[in-house]
Structure 1
Amino acid sequence: MIEVNQGNSPLVLGLPHTGTDVPPEIWETLNETGQALADTDWHIHDLYAGLVDNITTVRTPVHRYVIDVNRDPAGVSLYPGQNTTTLCPTTDFDGLPIYREGMEPDEAEITRRRDTYHAPYHAALEAELQRVKDIHEFAVLYDCHSIRSHIPFLFDGVLPDFNIGTNLGETCAPRVESETYEICKKAEGYTHILNGRFKGGWTTRHYGRPADNLHAIQMELAQSTYMTEAAPWDYLPARADALRVHLSDILTLLKQWSPA
């Protein structure tokens, strides 16, 4: 179920939200809004494909409406006091219900989904981080995300193009943060922010332990940088290729980075 491609460099890419698979028994409980799957991180696995060699990727094909593998399995909010979605979302990013009336998952169903989909993803991710750490004595996790650039329910205004999250510098060594930020800052024609609306999800915060030689950083891209932001969510090759130049620079940096 979990798609793992192994490399032997210290860099591991997490791909938690690119999947569109929804089991039939869950699909039938979603309403028309839910079945649109609008909150997918569309094309992200294609956007990053082939940028650098010898890196590891871990991807779940299951859609975030089944369960969001970038949320705390205990259901604790990442952003207390702000609008966000939950471990098993019942609304979309616009705050609209995604389930048919009365068909939202109960606690038993949430537990089942956590065991079936959330736990295996993180078991695979943790295993790969440990594997490359055993080789190099450290590992770097780069968590790949994207989102529509304008979602009033979640944030005001228009989202910057590059949204770097390190939970205010807690999840990685300072140079991982600063050197990634410098690449984004120098990318002509793009906007950027560090630890703005997106400070890193549960994955980044959970695995990012610099004292243990585990470094994690999240990149949330505005989808306007590489695709159309409405159905049918078309990938725009020319726009994407321009962005891939900068993403390649970031991954090359992180692949070659060393704490020494």
Structure 2
Amino acid sequence: MKNFASSLFPPSLKRFFQAQQEANREENPSRQAAPAPVMLSGTPGAGPVVLASPHSGHFYPEAFVQAARQPLDILRSGEDSFVDELAKGAQALGPPLIHATFPRVFCDVNRAAWDLDSRMFHGTIPSFVSPSERGLAGLGSIPRIVADRRPIYRQRLPFMEAALRIRHYWMPYHAALAGLLEAALKQYGFCLLLDLHSMPDALQAGSPDFVLGDRYGTSCSRHLTNVAEQTLQGLGFKTARNHPYAGGYITRHYGRPSTNMHALQIEMRRGLYMEESTRTPHEGFAALTDALTILVEQILAHVPTQKNTHHHAP
């Protein structure tokens, strides 16, 4: 995996940023007071499993909030509140935990970097911008819409704003995540990313408590997905696979079982641990923390733990 992290950023993108930064030296004042975009708990390479929470960030730059058409409460609707905290018990077992401090409505790292709807920007749009169907629907790396398809912005943004967010937020997150996976793969010949998310409570009776997304068996070995499913069901939770969440860009990009890199997206129902309307943790928070810890403990029992060996996928 030579230069794995840097391979995420083609030379053409680096040249674009160098040219743009020479032309625009202004810094966003809110960035000066912002926390680091990525936080890491634990030690890289400490084990073959990496925990990640890409959507639990809750630092909303003031300039962004002021430019938004929607109030902060609506902007926060897609936030995976407290997921990084729910994972602390699991992290104490040894796996490093990475989480973004910025919110997905500001920059969504679970989309390809240049998955952007060019219609939301003014100015020259570089040729490497490549929107997917979801990007064109307003759900790209810089989202155009939020809850109930409400438009986020009052007017079009300069494309440079999107480019700077990708540069200062998306890229550091993926460089850090790729580095953690590279360290695990180097040490153990195997790595597994558990990408942690929360999902809204569904109105339908019997809706799942957890949804396990492995891109229909292509991003993670079925054995490990089975272990996760059986563990959760044994704890009394209702589970589903790949519906309605099969895994986003992160799962697809990092899940490469043929090279001993696995990725499993885990969606947890928000009502299990908090009041959705107020984003307040309730008495179920500790129980879900314990359940997530047990889940990771069971997964660790089924992955290679001997260093410097070359294992095939479980």
Q: Does 1:195 align with 2:221?
A: no
TM-score by length of 2: 0.73
Q: CA contact under 8 A between 2:39 and 2:98: conserved in structure 1?
A: yes
- Which residue of structure 2 lines up, in the alignment, with residue 235 of structure 1? 281
Counterpart among 213, 224, 234 of residue 186 in structure 1: 234
Q: How does 1:141-160 map to 2 (within 5 A)?
A: 141-150=193-202, 159-160=207-208
Q: Does 1:113 align with 2:168?
A: no
Report how far residue 242 of structure 1 moved.
2.3
Structure having the higher Rg: 2
- Which residue of structure 2 lines up, in the alignment, with residue 39 of structure 1? 78
Q: Percent identity?
A: 25
Report how far residue 161 of structure 1 moved.
1.0
Counterpart among 27, 48, 52 of residue 65 in structure 2: 27
SS of equivalent residue, structure 2 residue 229: helix
- Give distance in 1, aligned partners of 2:286 and 2:252: 30
Letter aligned with residue 70 of structure 1: N
SS of equivalent residue, structure 2 residue 52: strand
Q: CA contact under 8 A between 2:213 and 2:266: conserved in structure 1?
A: yes
Counterpart among 134, 143, 158 of residue 89 in structure 1: 143
SS of equivalent residue, structure 1 residue 219: strand
Counterpart among 121, 131, 151 of residue 183 in structure 2: 131
Q: Is the alpha carbon distance of 1:158 and 1:118 closer, same or farther for their aligned partners in structure 2, counting shifts above 3 Å?
A: farther
Q: Does 1:60 align with 2:66?
A: no
Report how far residue 35 of structure 1 moved.
5.4
Segments of structure 1 that go 5 or more residues without pairing to the other structure are none
Q: Is the alpha carbon distance of 1:20 and 1:158 closer, same or farther for their aligned partners in structure 2, counting shifts above 3 Å?
A: farther
Instruction: Kindly tell me the number of residue pairs found equivalent between the two proteins.
Output: 250
Q: Is the alpha carbon distance of 1:35 and 1:228 closer, same or farther for their aligned partners in structure 2, counting shifts above 3 Å?
A: closer
Q: CA contact under 8 A between 2:89 and 2:289: conserved in structure 1?
A: no
- Give distance in 1, aligned partners of 2:284 and 2:246: 26
SS of equivalent residue, structure 1 residue 68: coil
Tell me how large the CA RMSD over aligned residues is. Answer: 2.3
Report how far residue 117 of structure 1 moved.
0.6
Letter aligned with residue 89 of structure 2: G
Q: Is the alpha carbon distance of 1:106 and 1:198 closer, same or farther for their aligned partners in structure 2, counting shifts above 3 Å?
A: farther
Q: CA contact under 8 A between 1:139 and 1:215: conserved in structure 2?
A: yes
